[in-house]
Amino acid sequence: MAKDKAQNGKSISLKKEIYQQITGQLSTSLPAVKEILGEKKFERRVKKAAKLLSEGIKEKAPKKVKEVKKKAASKKAETPEAIVEN
What is the tens place of the pLDDT at every residue in 26-51? Answer: 999 999 999 999 999 999 999 999 99
State mean pLDDT over 49-56: 89
d(CA 12, CA 21): 12
Q: CA–CA distance from 23 to each of 7, 45, 85 (Å)?
A: 20, 10, 68
Q: Is 21 helix (H, G, I), strand (E, B) or coil?
A: helix
CB atoms closer than 10 angstroms to residue 19: 20
Band (pLDDT 50/70/90 cuts) for residue 65 is: confident
Q: Is the per-residue pLDDT at 24 higher than 80?
A: yes
> Do the beta carbons of residue 37 and residue 45 sit within 8 Å?
yes
> Do the beta carbons of residue 2 and residue 12 sit within 8 Å?
yes
What's the chain's average pLDDT?
78
